[in-house]
Amino acid sequence: MQFPRASALLFLALPAGAEELTFAATQQFLTSNCAKCHSGKTAAGGFVLNRLTTADTLQTAPVKWTRAALRVRNGEMPPKGAGALTVDEREQFAQWVDRSVRGAVCSAGVKPSASHIRRLNRDEYSATIRDLLDIHLDLAKMLPSDGSGGEGFDNAAETLFLSPLHSEKYLEVAKFATDFASKEYKSRSKVIIARPGPGLTSDQAAHKILEAFLPKAFRRPVAAADVAPYVTLFRAASQQGQPFEQAVWFAIRGALVSPMFLFRVEPPNPDSKARLLDQFSLASRLSYFLWGSMPDELLSDVAAAGKLNDTEFLQQLIRRMLRNDRSLGFAQRFIEQWLRTRELATDKAPDAKLYPAYAADEDLRSDVRNQPVLFFREVFIRNLPLTNFIDSKGTIGTRKLAQHFNEKLPLNNNASSQPQWVELPADSRRGGLLGMPAVLAVASYPYRTSPVLRGAWVLDSILGTPPPPPPPNVPPLEETSSGSTPRSMKERLTQHRANAVCASCHTRIDPWGFALENYDPIGKWRDDEGGKPIDNTSELLDGTQIHGPAALKAALMERKDLFLRNLTNKMLGYALGRGLTLQDSCAVDAILAKVKENNYSAQSLIEGIVMSVPFQQQAGRASAPPMKKEAGKP
Ligand code: HEC
Ligand code: HEC
């Protein structure tokens, strides 16, 4: 079940002077706007208002309330006649519901929500095989891609069931990987740790190998009964005349398509109360969070020693895991989905006819795409304040990027130290995510900038307050056609402001984007366009005048609480691999309090997440969902 969260509902603060609603006023709102269709036995959509008439329903029926808020906020309810309620009225209702429901739900303390059994997604699968067999192959390419769910990431349990197509592909890939590994010296010496020899039958040798291999593959200790079926597989292959090693690889292939390998299975909690997760499940959660792969030997040892609930120990462990190369995968998967910069490789690629030099320069394109990824990782390794994502005195530089910026960067010109962390000159325009071409390009059209798209991107990706979806049938922007006098973007967009319905959304969206107009669609700086100076001034809804990117960042800094909540929501959703529940949003409050106490330090966010109730605990049986049928067997 998905809940819209606080931040998702706050399409920017209400204008000053907007009254706080009361419970009684909310009842009044529902009666006058909704009762017509939502009363009695024939209530539309099964949504009955008289089940929401007392304050305790905020706690007993939170989903009904949040559904109502979501439909109202999106302009879907009441249906049609969008003019019936203003954006402010919708926001006011939605924000009241959100605050009140959270207040009611969180007052009882944070509880863990049910976690679902899930398949390894294709990146996790590929990385796990890599670490397990010590082979370096990009197996992900051979697997179907995963859709995204939850907080917008492709590791969300909601989407990771096993279809027949998946089973077939995973079987194919397991065969490919074991065939490959059986010919590699490194993997063979890692896996084939015994051979039939004096005093050791081939059955016994195979048993020894599998006994050592299976706990790694299944990421937890295995019982004798778990080993037996694989020894049987070995025997069957032997009896068909396969030589010893080949028969062992056959058994291993069987392990690689076992649900214990393919799925992240946590032993169910038999109790009706929540409990601490077992150490091995916790080790897996940690390593799939920060590495996107299986626990290494040290992590497994630490789990066996039962040390994963020790705060101080965990802090050290997290630091070590971030410094490990494997955290690069985390940085890439997280940030490219959070900022949507993955789309630069597909439908958001800048137009090659308009930007031929950029399109032709593969190194530059790769530097552009990697810049936010490496920046993200450095912020965490260096434990810098999270506000560096809004504005920063340093960035990731390369020679190609410096040329692209047309800015002097104090680069160390040693080729091996590229890309590198550079301190930016005081007047630099490149601090923070919004100075990065990857971000500026992905929030543009391939052929022109759009203050609307960039504004919506800032509201969504940075502040976590996405604007409601645009109404249907809005006429497209008139493009600057040849012949007529070119008009500036601002002139073309003033049409929105003239119409009150359009203005209700666009006065909230566009100002953020106008301040970024100096960056062209590939993030290069420009002072004019088509012979006219760029107009980068705008006025935020609260009256703040902003003028260019520096002022924009200052305005975002003033709203850093929204940004931090958004980042925390995203990262907790990624870490848990599922959409957040209302209970999780109570945990987010606790994590944010810790982050603030630690001056917004980046590692305190990861520590807060790893130490949080939903990460450390397992819900009681009562709230466990029935297992998905298709998730049972490959
Ligand atoms: C003119 C009739 C009408 C009015 C007025 C109306 N609704 Fe609805 N509502 C519907 C219909 C029809 C459906 C079922 C179709 C659908 O879900 O879109 C529905 C479905 C719903 C649902 C249930 C579906 C879901 O998303 O879970 C909710 C909640 C809802 N409306 C909330 C409201 C609220 C809150 C108001 C008042 C602000 C309101 N509606 C006003 C006609 C109306
Ligand atoms: C409910 C909020 C809302 C309302 C009302 C609204 N819009 Fe939008 N509009 C958006 C959002 C959000 C986008 C960005 C869509 C996207 O991400 O693709 C957008 C995009 C646009 C764009 C594309 C911008 C570009 O650079 O090409 C135009 C043009 C536009 N709107 C015009 C209008 C006009 C004219 C009206 C009034 C008739 C209007 N909008 C009403 C939310 C709204």
Q: For position 275, what pLDDT does the model report? A: 93
Give the span between the Cα atoms of 143 and 128, in whole angstroms.
14
Cα 470 to ligand 1 centroid, rounded to whole Å: 19
Cα 77 to ligand 1 centroid, rounded to whole Å: 5
Write out the two tokens for 529.
Answer: 């366009």
From the CB of 505, is ligand 2 less than 6 Å away? yes
From the CB of 97, is ligand 1 less than 6 Å away? no
User: Which residues, including other chains, have CB under 8 Å from residue 10's CB and lie 6 or more apart?
Assistant: 91, 95, 98, 465, 562
**Distance between alpha carbon 13 and the CA centroid of its chain, in Å?**
24
Residue whose CB lies within 8 A of the most ligand 1 atoms, among 21, 30, 34, for a mutation test: 34
User: Which residues, including other chains, have CB under 8 Å from residue 312's CB and lie 6 or more apart?
Assistant: none
464 near 565, Cβ under 8 Å?
yes
Classify each residue of 142-156 as buried b or exposed e, where b means 16 or more C-beta atoms within 10 Å of its C-beta.
bbeebeebbbbbbbb
Write out the two tokens for 66.
Answer: 């949040």
Q: For position 626, what pLDDT does the model report? A: 39
Give the span between the Cα atoms of 112 and 130, in whole angstroms.
32
Residue whose CB lies within 8 A of the most ligand 2 atoms, among 88, 452, 487, for a mutation test: 452
Instruction: Determine the angle formed by the axes of helices 122-133 and 327-338, rounding to 10 degrees.
Output: 170
What secondary structure letter does DSSP report for 461? I
Ligand nearest to the CA of 450: 2
Q: Pick from 609, 542, 540, 622: which is nearest to 576 by CA?
A: 609
Q: What is the domain partition of the chain in residue ranges? A: 6-106, 118-264, 275-324, 338-467+489-557, 559-618
From the CB of 186, is ligand 1 less than 6 Å away? no
User: Which residues, including other chains, have CB under 8 Å from residue 409's CB and lie 6 or more apart?
Assistant: 397, 401, 402, 422, 424
591 near 386, Cβ under 8 Å?
no
157 near 118, Cβ under 8 Å?
yes
Ligand nearest to the CA of 87: 2
Residue whose CB lies within 8 A of the most ligand 2 atoms, among 505, 508, 509, for a mutation test: 505
Strands 420-423 and 394-397 turn out to be: antiparallel
Q: For position 622, what pLDDT does the model report? A: 59
Give the span between the Cα atoms of 433 and 499, in whole angstroms.
33
Write out the two tokens for 539.
Answer: 């006025």
From the CB of 504, is ligand 2 less than 6 Å away? yes
From the CB of 365, is ligand 1 less than 6 Å away? no
Cα 85 to ligand 1 centroid, rounded to whole Å: 14
Residue 97 sits at the vertex; the CA angle it makes with 96 and 98, to the nearest 5 degrees, is 90
Cα 90 to ligand 1 centroid, rounded to whole Å: 14
From the CB of 161, is ligand 1 less than 6 Å away? no
From the CB of 474, is ligand 2 less than 6 Å away? yes
Residues of the chain with pLDDT under 70: 1-19, 81-83, 149-150, 158-162, 415-417, 478-487, 495, 622-634
Cα 44 to ligand 1 centroid, rounded to whole Å: 6
Could you write out the DSSP letters of every residue in 74-107?
Answer: TT-SS-S-GGGS-HHHHHHHHHHHHHHHHHHHHT
Residue whose CB lies within 8 A of the most ligand 1 atoms, among 33, 36, 38, 42, for a mutation test: 38
Ligand nearest to the CA of 36: 1
Residue whose CB lies within 8 A of the most ligand 2 atoms, among 89, 479, 501, 506, for a mutation test: 506
Cα 610 to ligand 1 centroid, rounded to whole Å: 39
535 near 517, Cβ under 8 Å?
yes
From the CB of 507, is ligand 2 less than 6 Å away? no
Q: Whose CA is nearest to atom 35 of ligand 1?
A: 68
Nearest atom in ligand 1 to 64's CA: 29
From the CB of 33, is ligand 1 less than 6 Å away? yes
Query: First CA to last CA across the chain, in angstroms?
Result: 25
The 10s digit of each residue's pLDDT in 442-499 is 999 999 999 999 999 999 999 998 888 888 777 777 665 444 555 677 777 776 777 8
Ligand nearest to the CA of 64: 1
Ligand nearest to the CA of 81: 1
Give the span between the Cα atoms of 441 and 447, in whole angstroms.
10
Cα 104 to ligand 2 centroid, rounded to whole Å: 35
Q: Whose CA is nearest to atom 24 of ligand 2?
A: 452
Ligand nearest to the CA of 492: 2
260 near 284, Cβ under 8 Å?
no
From the CB of 72, is ligand 1 less than 6 Å away? yes
Query: How far from 41 is each of 46, 49, 53, 350, 369, CA to CA, in Å?
Result: 9, 11, 16, 54, 55
Which H, E and C letters describe 217-270, residue by residue? HHCCCCCHHHHHHHHHHHHHHHHCCCCHHHHHHHHHHHHHCCHHHHEECCCCCC
Q: Whose CA is nearest to atom 37 of ligand 1?
A: 34
The 10s digit of each residue's pLDDT in 235-273 is 999 999 999 999 999 999 999 989 899 999 898 898 989
Cα 46 to ligand 1 centroid, rounded to whole Å: 9
From the CB of 299, is ligand 2 less than 6 Å away? no
Nearest atom in ligand 1 to 46's CA: 23
Q: For position 15, what pLDDT does the model report? A: 46
- Within 10 angstroms of residue 270's Cβ, the number of other Cβ atoms is 8
Q: Whose CA is nearest to atom 38 of ligand 2?
A: 502
The amino acid present at 376, given as its one-letter code, is F
Q: Whose CA is nearest to atom 39 of ligand 2?
A: 502
